[in-house]
Amino acid sequence: MKHAPASDAVPLSGLLEALRDAIHRGRRQALRAVDVAQVSTCWEVGRHIVEFEQGGASRATYGQKLLPRLAEALSREFGKGFDVSNLRHMRGFFLSFPIRDALRRELSWTHYRMLLRVGDPQARRWYMTEAASQNWSSRVLDRQIDTLYYERRLLGSDPVVSTSESVPPARGSAPKPRDFVRDPVMLEFLGLPGSGRLLESSLEQALMDKLQSFLLELGQGFAFVARQQRVSTDFQDFYIDLVFYNYLLKCFVLIDLKTGRLTHQDIGQMDMYVRMYDELRRGPADNPTVGILLCDQKDLSVARYSILKGSEQIFASQYRLVLPSEDELREAIEQERAAWEEIEPLARKSFPRET
């Protein structure tokens, strides 16, 4: 019996690789089709329930017994997935997303169940769009909602305008550095203690160990460049804690870690870093460098009566190592906004803008 020559192993290897890719791709498409079908079915079930409830006084006699009766009958016929809790979610799904064509096919039923937790319709739509366009897993979406990602984004956009005015920029419009700065920055994924003195080197190392999660928390378009990057003058070397590049802003982003309260010396140092980076590292196609002071405690007076006031390139953000409750986080955001609104008139009086 003749055996195939050894050289056949090369094309066979290529064929197997191609087949593996085709099989994996087919399975992903099948799972995606199942997700789309499940979302459509849940929406239809919710629609029928709502329309039945709206059928008039005769239907009202069913009252709260409607969902338990439906759950019992559907579970007996179709198995799991139609208990009272899920039927209630399907009903809420239709009420929250009454236009089926507005749904994003990239999202699963698990995504939409999480979106139902968001009470603000505008925030809910934003989370839906971001989860689809940024390919967030359901776990990532859950964290973003828990950490009030949308509200923190609004606060970063402009802390002295109202929520109704401070909306995320429309797609296609030019992004601004301020829109990419979170405040506070939630670093609970590091697993570091929330009390006691923390060394900046320990915080830096922890961020490197969980770089992917940190990039997600920073926002869209960030890519890691360097850690402790050296920039030198004729007589002295300086080391920048973390350097990123944002391909949406088309600029370098410098992060200086501070484990204590923000000082005017910290602000002056970051201003120097940004100016040096613009001169020594910034390319002709890059936009001006952005500097972020990531600190344990912010002093709003120092921030407001310094170069941070009105700056488009240098910002200060507070980090939190322990995830507070939603009420605590929402209260902190509102306090931050109120503090800015209180200081703003004083700043304008002390430092009137030139006309």
Residue-wise pLDDT tens digits, 105-138: 899 999 999 999 999 999 999 999 999 998 899 9
For the stretch 39-43, contacts whose Cβ atoms lie closer than 8 Å and that sit 24 or more positions apart, written own/partner, are 39/103, 39/105, 39/107, 39/108, 39/109, 39/112, 40/100, 42/89, 42/90, 42/93, 42/109, 42/112, 43/90, 43/93, 43/94, 43/97, 43/100, 43/103
Which segments of the chain have a pLDDT < 50?
Answer: 158-171, 346-355
Q: What is the structure's pLDDT at 64?
A: 61
Tokens of 177: 């550095």
Which SS3 state, helix, strand or coil, does residue 227 take? strand
Single-letter amino acid code for the residue at 347:
A
Single-letter amino acid code for the residue at 160:
V
Instruction: Determine phi and psi for 188, rounding to 5 degrees.
Output: -65, -20
Q: What is the structure's pLDDT at 148?
A: 87
pTM of the model: 0.71
Burial class for 149, CB neighbours closer than 10 Å (0-12, 13-18, 19+): buried
Which SS3 state, helix, strand or coil, does residue 245 take? strand
Q: Are 42 and 109 spatial neighbours (Cβ–Cβ below 8 Å)?
A: yes
What are the residue ranges of helices labelled H in 236-323?
264-280, 300-304
Q: What is the structure's pLDDT at 300?
A: 66
Point out which residues pair with 294 in neighbouring strands. Answer: 257, 317
Predicted confidence (pLDDT) per residue in 260-277, tens digit: 788 888 888 999 999 999
What are the structural domains, with CATH classification, of the chain?
16-103 (no CATH), 151-350 (3.40.1350.10)
